[in-house]
Amino acid sequence: MSLKQTITDDMKNAMRAGDKPRLGVIRLTTAAIKQIEVDERIDLQEDDTRVISIIDKMIKQRRESISQFEKASRDDLVKQEEFEITVLQPYLPAALSADEIESLVNEAIEKSGAASIKDMGKVMGILKPQMAGRADMGKVSQTIKARLS
């Protein structure tokens, strides 16, 4: 079953259970997926990698919001964003460990022949499809910078 179908089924289950907070987050997710489908005139029914990238982007937005809300001492909004992350997280593949990330970075550097920080784009180009939804690309970027410096 595709990831989009899983999300739709979870939305139906949340409706049946009367779980309004969870239902709201899932509806936001389906709306984001639908927006991409309409904008690009495509069907994401079979494109799990694209759906994963949409969910990953949503989680990244929520993490950024959390940092802003913490600065503003808005604990109520922080809790809401954290709840939304806990609802979205299960749709992503298992996160990579630090050792796995390090191994993939080293492999990509060797594969691309990167020698300096100028070659970082080549390395990121190799890693991004492999790590989509499985690692924080900001941290991966820092790892690459440390290795190439």
In whole angstroms, what is the distance from residue 43 CA to residue 139 CA?
A: 31
Q: Domain 3-91: what homologous superfamily?
A: Uncharacterised protein YqeY/AIM41, N-terminal domain (1.10.1510.10)
The encoded tokens of residue 114 equal 């990167």
Q: Domain 98-148, what fold?
A: Arc Repressor Mutant, subunit A (1.10.10)
Parse the chain into domains and list their residue ranges: 3-91, 98-148
Q: Write out pLDDT tens, residues 35-80.
A: 999 999 999 888 888 999 899 999 999 999 999 999 999 999 999 9
The H or E element that residue 86 is part of is helix 75-88
Per-residue pLDDT at 20: 97
Amino acid at 22: R
Domains 3-91 and 98-148 share a fold: no
